[in-house]
């Protein structure tokens, strides 16, 4: 019979990979808890337009990377490529702005992008995202970057945090004009994609990875030189907060991000080891209004869980495993013992195989147990059990209350 394979770009997470994934997820969720973020569980599918409108028609994600389809009623839907669009849709639809002066939400789950798969890039990947709605204060931006910094520090992942400001409706047009003019002057050095981007989305040219484009934009007009008074103030306050929080960061005037909704602050945490971005975010002060809500400034970020898992160097610690071996007519006693041990939070595996002690201990080793718990007639009668440390070989009797 033919054996099935998973779909290209969609992969199983198992063994150590799954453990690292869970470790990363739990560590981040705990951080979000102490920063008082509230969870929102969002649908994986939204109307296609939710993404087109928020992420932007001219972006790679919307143009080339969406898993979109029509349902049986002809509705145009898509698997979410990211979480911000859905979070904003939910914020507006559920009138969350009416509940609190500001709202801090987080979400976790699979995202889908039709990209070319490679190391650390999948078509189904997982994000944890956090969004703060309802404040313009650069302190919110700084606190998010601080949270990101703490996560990476705790995981021992070596990154550079890059920040930039890409302005607002007031100051962007002048920069855009200057940039288009500059790009027309260096057109001969740009790749075809960038020539096309020049008029549609000129900022994206600054982010192109093609070496000739990179070289050509080195002298391009920088958004930082065009910031209006408000954006300049916002950016300098942010940097002041980052310094006060002792967060090392690098200003990257060419950092622009691949989604259209950003305003003012943008940031990325880039791995120094692999050069890939592991966490990214920024401000999006117009999006809530553009999605039908009241004017509401907002800022957020998302973590790529697989990318962080990939960079983890230490194995997440696991609790010891107890392998319980019943010998003879003692199953009732053995299972009660297993129940007690498990209720104390211990990891217990009851042997499903029959056989002599040697075979059972071999099995315990193959299952990577730390201890074997041996229960026979004698143990049952005396209401105790025998525990063997599989590393040292040391064996002791424990009774009657199982506190190991
Ligand atoms: P993004 O930069 O598109 O931003 O994605 C955030 C993170 O998701 C990336 O830094 C990366 O770690 C991970 N990621 C993206 N694409 C892939 C992929 N194909 N395979 C594996 N990991 C991937 C956003 O999605 C924004 N919604 C972030 C945000 C939230 N901005 C404001 N709020």
Q: How far is the CA of 90 from the centre of ligand 1 (A)?
A: 19
Determine if ligand 1 sits within 6 Å of the CB of residue 131: yes
Best residue among 131, 147, 304 to mutate for probing ligand 1's pocket (most ligand atoms within 8 Å of CB) is: 304
Q: What pLDDT is recorded for position 400?
A: 57
Ligand 1 center to residue 320 CA distance, Å?
Answer: 35
**Domain 321-398 is in which class?**
alpha beta
Atom of ligand 1 nearest to the CA of 85: 27
CA of 176 to the centre of ligand 1 (A): 25
Q: In this predicted structure, what is the pLDDT of residue 240?
A: 98
The set of residues, in sequence order, having a beta carbon less than 8 Å from that of 387 and lying 6+ positions away, is 322, 371, 372, 373, 374, 395, 396, 397, 398, 404
Residue of minimum CA distance from atom 20 in ligand 1 = 121
pLDDT, residue 155, reads 95
Does residue 113 line the site of ligand 1, with CB under 6 A? yes
> What is the domain partition of the chain in residue ranges?
15-167+227-311, 172-221, 321-398
Q: Specify the pLDDT at position 72.
A: 97
Residue with CA at minimum distance from ligand 1 atom 14: 304
- Looking at the CA of residue 82, tell me the nearest atom of ligand 1: 25
What per-residue confidence (pLDDT) applies to 404?
Answer: 44
Report pTM.
0.94
Residue whose C-alpha is closest to residue 220's, from 237, 198, 193, 240 = 198
- Give me the sheet containing 277-283, strands edge to edge: 38-39, 103-112, 124-133, 298-304, 277-283, 263-271, 159-165, 250-251
The per-residue pLDDT string of the chain (404 residues; one tens digit each, 9 = 90 and over) reads 899 999 999 999 999 999 999 999 999 999 999 999 999 999 999 999 999 999 999 889 999 999 999 999 999 999 999 999 999 999 999 999 999 999 999 999 999 999 999 999 999 999 999 999 999 999 999 999 999 999 999 999 999 999 999 999 999 999 999 999 999 999 999 999 899 888 888 988 988 889 999 999 989 999 999 999 999 999 999 999 999 999 999 999 999 988 999 999 999 999 999 999 999 999 999 999 999 999 999 999 999 999 999 999 888 888 999 999 999 999 999 999 999 999 999 999 999 999 999 999 999 999 999 999 999 999 999 999 999 999 999 999 997 554 44
Would you say the CB of residue 129 lies under 6 angstroms from ligand 1? yes
Q: Point out the ligand 1 atom lying closest to the alpha carbon of residue 83.
A: 27
State which of 10, 307, 308, 312 you would mutate to test the pocket of ligand 1, scoring each by most atoms of that ligand within 8 A of its C-beta: 307
> Which CATH class, in words, describes the domain spanning 15-167+227-311?
alpha beta
- Among 59, 258, 267, 280, name the best residue to mutate to test ligand 1's pocket (greatest count of ligand atoms within 8 A of Cβ): 280
Predicted confidence (pLDDT) per residue in 204-249, tens digit: 898 888 999 999 998 999 999 999 999 999 999 999 999 999 999 9
121 lines ligand 1 (CB under 6 A): yes
Cα of 308 from ligand 1 centre, angstroms = 12
Give me ligand 1 centre to Cα 21, in Å: 16
């Amino acid at each position: 019979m033919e054996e099935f394979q998973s779909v290209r770009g969609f992969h199983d997470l198992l063994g150590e990979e799954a453990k690292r994934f869970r470790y990363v997820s739990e560590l981040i969720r705990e951080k979000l808890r102490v920063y008082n973020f509230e969870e929102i569980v969002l649908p994986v599918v939204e109307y296609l337009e939710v993404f087109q409108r928020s992420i932007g028609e001219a972006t790679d994600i919307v143009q080339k990377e969406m898993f979109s389809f029509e349902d049986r009623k002809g509705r145009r839907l898509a698997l979410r490529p990211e979480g911000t669009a859905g979070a904003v849709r939910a914020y507006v639809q559920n009138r969350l702005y009416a509940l609190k002066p500001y709202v801090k939400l987080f979400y976790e789950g699979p995202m889908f992008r039709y990209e070319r798969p490679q190391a650390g890039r999948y078509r189904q990947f997982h994000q944890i995202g956090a969004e703060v709605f309802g404040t313009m204060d650069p302190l919110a931006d700084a606190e998010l970057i601080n949270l990101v910094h703490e996560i990476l520090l705790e995981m021992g992942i070596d990154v550079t945090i890059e920040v930039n400001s890409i302005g607002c409706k007031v100051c962007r047009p002048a920069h855009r004009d200057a940039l288009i003019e500059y790009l027309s002057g260096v057109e001969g050095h740009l790749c075809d994609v960038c020539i096309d981007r020049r008029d549609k989305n000129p900022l994206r040219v600054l982010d192109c990875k093609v070496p000739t484009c990179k070289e050509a934009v080195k002298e391009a007009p920088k958004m930082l030189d065009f910031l209006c008074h408000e954006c300049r103030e916002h950016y300098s306050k942010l940097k002041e907060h980052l310094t006060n929080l002792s967060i090392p960061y690098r200003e990257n005037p060419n950092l622009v991000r691949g989604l259209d909704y950003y305003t003012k602050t943008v940031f990325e945490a880039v791995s120094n080891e692999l050069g890939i971005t592991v966490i990214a975010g920024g401000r999006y002060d117009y999006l809530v209004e553009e999605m039908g809500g009241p004017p509401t400034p907002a800022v957020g970020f998302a973590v790529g869980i697989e990318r962080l898992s990939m960079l983890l160097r230490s194995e997440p610690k696991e609790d010891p495993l107890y392998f319980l071996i019943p010998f003879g007519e003692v199953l009732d006693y053995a299972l009660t013992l297993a129940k007690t041990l498990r209720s104390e939070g211990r990891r217990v595996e009851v042997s499903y195989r029959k056989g002599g002690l040697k075979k059972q201990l071999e099995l315990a080793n193959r299952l990577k147990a730390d201890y074997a718990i041996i229960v026979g007639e004698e143990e049952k009668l005396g209401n105790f059990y025998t525990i063997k440390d599989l590393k040292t070989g040391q064996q002791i009797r424990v009774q009657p209350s199982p506190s190991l």
